[in-house]
């Protein structure tokens, strides 16, 4: 006697979660808040899904992913490009939230991406700090560039912004350093990374947050994950030029 596996696709928006299941092709919608996610987990607990898949949405998925993981429901946050390519390959051109959830469920059922451990709260906090540091650094560079061609009327304003940004960068660097040094695991990884010539504290913490699999995967797997592994482009007798593409995008 065979058991039919259940696969779930979730289309995430700011205020709503559209949920589709396969192979039953059932669809429901709940609010994207604590109450709505609790209702969703209650429903999913009854069907015991083999896999739940949703797209990365820049943070809107954080609540539901963390709660699903805490409830021991296997969940994968997929690259939106993979979902779009799958939709085109299956001829799905129309677009609504419900249809998006259905195509994500079909993707889960057909591709079955491997579920990986969800980032814990500490790693999410460190990741948010590193992202904020990147934003501040970009704003500082932009203000400095503007100053080179600015009129005297706005120089004072630009200088004030530069001082504020530099002060905030120093503050956030201190918070990041304290968080990293406060974790025995991160401290050991940070010391190892910074022992490599050319790797400083900024690059080290960027690798810690952007590539937490370091030390867990082999060199070929890491190269493919980052997007620096040469990929074949062969067909029949044709041997194409090897090139690199894809990889994990930073937030």
pLDDT tens digits along 93-115: 767 778 889 999 999 999 988 87
Task: Give the three-state DSSP class for 235.
Answer: strand
Q: Check residue 138 and give left, alpha or beta (phi > 0: left; psi -120 to 50: alpha).
A: alpha
Give the pLDDT score at 30.
94
Look up residue 30 and give its two tokens. 């709940």
Distance CA 169, CA 178 (A): 14
Positions of the chain with pLDDT under 70: 1-3, 94, 117-118, 234-237, 244-251
Q: What is the DSSP letter of 240?
A: P
| Interior angle at CA 78, CA 211 and CA 128, nearest 5 | 45
- Give me the domains of the chain, ranges plus CATH numbers: 7-111 (3.30.420.40), 126-214 (no CATH), 217-251 (no CATH)
Give the pLDDT score at 235.
67
Torsion, CA 199, CA 203, CA 209, CA 214, rounded to 10: -30
Look at the pTM and tell me if it is higher than 0.75. Answer: no
Nearest CA-CA partner of 247 in 54, 9, 82: 82
Give the pLDDT score at 1.
46
Distance CA 24, CA 34 (A): 26
Residue 92 to residues 18, 85, 96, 233, Cα–Cα distance (Å): 17, 10, 11, 27
Look up residue 167 and give its two tokens. 């002060």
Give the pLDDT score at 151.
93
Q: Which residues pair with 8 in a beta bridge?
A: 21, 52
């Amino acid at each position: 006697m065979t058991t039919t596996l259940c696969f779930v696709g979730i289309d995430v928006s700011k205020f709503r979660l559209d949920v589709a299941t396969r192979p039953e092709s059932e669809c429901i919608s709940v609010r994207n808040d604590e109450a709505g996610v609790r209702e969703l987990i209650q429903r999913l607990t009854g069907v015991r899904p083999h896999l739940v898949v949703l797209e990365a949405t820049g943070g809107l998925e954080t609540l539901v992913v963390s709660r699903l993981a805490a409830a021991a429901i296997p969940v994968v946050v997929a690259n939106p490009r993979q979902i779009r390519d799958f939709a085109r390959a299956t001829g799905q051109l129309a677009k609504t939230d419900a249809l998006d959830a259905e195509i994500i469920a079909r993707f889960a059922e057909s591709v079955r991406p491997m579920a990986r451990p969800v980032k814990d709260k500490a790693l999410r906090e460190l990741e948010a700090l590193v992202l904020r540091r990147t934003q501040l650094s970009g704003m500082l560079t932009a203000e400095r560039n503007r100053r080179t061609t600015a009129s005297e009327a706005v120089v004072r304003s630009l200088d004030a912004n530069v001082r504020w940004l530099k002060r905030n960068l120093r503050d956030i660097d201190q918070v990041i350093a304290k968080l990293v040094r406060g974790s025995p695991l991160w401290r050991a990884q940070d010391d190892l990374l910074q022992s490599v010539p050319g790797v400083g504290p900024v690059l080290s913490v960027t690798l810690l947050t952007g590539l937490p699999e370091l030390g867990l995967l082999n060199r070929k797997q890491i190269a493919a994950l980052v997007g620096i592994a040469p990929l074949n482009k062969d067909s029949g007798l044709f041997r194409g030029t090897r090139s690199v593409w894809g990889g994990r995008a930073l937030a």
